A = this chain, B = another copy of it.
Amino acid sequence: MTPDLIAAARARLAGHARVTPLLSSPFLDEIAGRRLLVKAECLQHTGSFKYRGARSAISALDPDTRSRGICAASSGNHAQGVALAAREMGVKAVILMPADAPRIKLENTRALGAEVVTYDRATQDRDALMLELEAERGMTLVRPYDDPQVIAGQGTCGLEIAEQAQAMGIDRAEVLVCCGGGGLTSGIAVALSQAAPGYRVRPVEPAGFDDTRRSQLSGQREANDRLSGSLCDAILTPSPGKITFPLIQAHCGPGLVVTDDEAMQAVALAALRLKLVVEPGGAAALAAALFHGGELEGDAVIVTASGGNCDPQLLAQAMGLL
């Protein structure tokens, strides 16, 4: 996983992925106590950075492989990113989703042209079903994070951050990234290691689901006890990836942890001050910048607002905090 792979992914994404803006507000600078810039990946196609990695991975397949279609397992942002990227490229996509996933997510994924196959979480083994799809239909699995081409796609976000922030005169910064499996975190970290060596990436996770932070401390991949129970559902994963973790270990500073309450405050402030809809998991990095300034160094902090697929009721609830 090298900067070259990210540069190549960027060339494949050009004209397809949106160059999302790097936003700011003097009101947020004041809360953060330093200059704060927000990379608005919630404005990416399908409402999250996941489209980058999906399009990167699918476009990297040779034509023969691609013609047999791709498959993925996700109940969330990865599903929508894969579905849209596949449709745009004329590639058949099958997405495995739990039958009890929110109806809107099932409908969105179907509306984006994917075939949705549902399974019963209690009685069926998702991985076995996925292997069947691969074996019987010859489809290629697009993993949510542990794939070099997916990581390279997410890394294109890091190249944009470097260019946009350097154009604003920022040579040194902490770059806080909402971290689930680590695809976005490691991709941005590798990109910045070359494009902006004065920037340091730091993963941000929800309290109780800080597998990456604990892995950084112990030096080996640690797992979470559970996989539900935080509003930051978009970034709950079992453990850092086999490919992503060594990259995080090599390139990132210490991880940060935010509570659900802090994430919800950040959702509210993003709406009020940036006019952005961000989901709690996508607001974790902003929450860290706003409420954990004492754990940061330097005059400038850059955060990813990585996803905006927020449940409407949850957004309404966040607005009540203002």
State whether A42 and B271 are in contact (beta carbons under 8 Å apart), knowing that A18-B21, A319-B312, A320-B316 are contacts in the complex: no
Is A275 a contact partner of B47 (Cβ separation < 8 A)?
Answer: yes
Within A1-39, the residues touching B (CB, 8 Å) are: 18, 20-21, 23, 26-27
Contact with B along A51-95 (1 / 0, CB 8 A): 000000000000000000000000000000000100000000000
State whether A275 and B272 are in contact (beta carbons under 8 Å apart), knowing that A23-B43, A316-B316 are contacts in the complex: no
Cα A268 to Cα B276 with chains together (Å):
13
Cα A223 to Cα B20 with chains together (Å):
41
Cα A317 to Cα B315 with chains together (Å):
10
Copies per complex? 2
State whether A272 and B312 are in contact (beta carbons under 8 Å apart), knowing that A43-B23, A111-B27 are contacts in the complex: yes
Cα A310 to Cα B241 with chains together (Å):
40
A189 within 8 A of B: no
For A113, give the chain B residue with the smallest CB separation: B26
A179 within 8 A of B: no
On chain A, the number of residues with a Cβ less than 8 Å from chain B's Cβ atoms is 31
From the candidates B111, B112, B308, B319, name the one contacting A315 in the complex (CB within 8 A): B319
A122 within 8 A of B: no
Is B308 a contact partner of A312 (Cβ separation < 8 A)?
Answer: no
Cα A36 to Cα B227 with chains together (Å):
38
Chain B residues with Cβ below 8 Å from A42 are 275
Contact with B along A298-309 (1 / 0, CB 8 A): 000000000010
Is B277 a contact partner of A312 (Cβ separation < 8 A)?
Answer: no
From the candidates B18, B112, B312, B319, name the one contacting A26 in the complex (CB within 8 A): B112
Is A271 a contact partner of B21 (Cβ separation < 8 A)?
Answer: no
From the candidates B20, B112, B319, name the one contacting A316 in the complex (CB within 8 A): B319
Chain B residues with Cβ below 8 Å from A315 are 271, 315-316, 319
For A313, give the chain B residue with the smallest CB separation: B319
Chain A to chain B contacts (Cβ below 8 Å), 6 pairs: A23-B43, A27-B108, A43-B276, A47-B275, A312-B319, A315-B315
Q: Using a CB–CB distance below 8 Å, which chain A residues touch chain B?
A: 18, 20-21, 23, 26-27, 40, 42-43, 47, 84, 108, 111-112, 268, 271-272, 274-278, 308, 312-313, 315-317, 319-320, 322
Top 7 closest pairs, chain A to chain B, by CB: A275-B308, A316-B316, A312-B319, A275-B277, A316-B319, A42-B275, A312-B322
Q: Contacts A18-B23, A271-B315, A312-B320 given; 19 further ones with Cβ under 8 A?
A: A18-B21, A20-B21, A21-B21, A21-B43, A26-B111, A26-B112, A27-B111, A47-B275, A272-B312, A275-B277, A275-B308, A276-B276, A312-B319, A315-B315, A315-B316, A315-B319, A316-B316, A316-B319, A319-B319
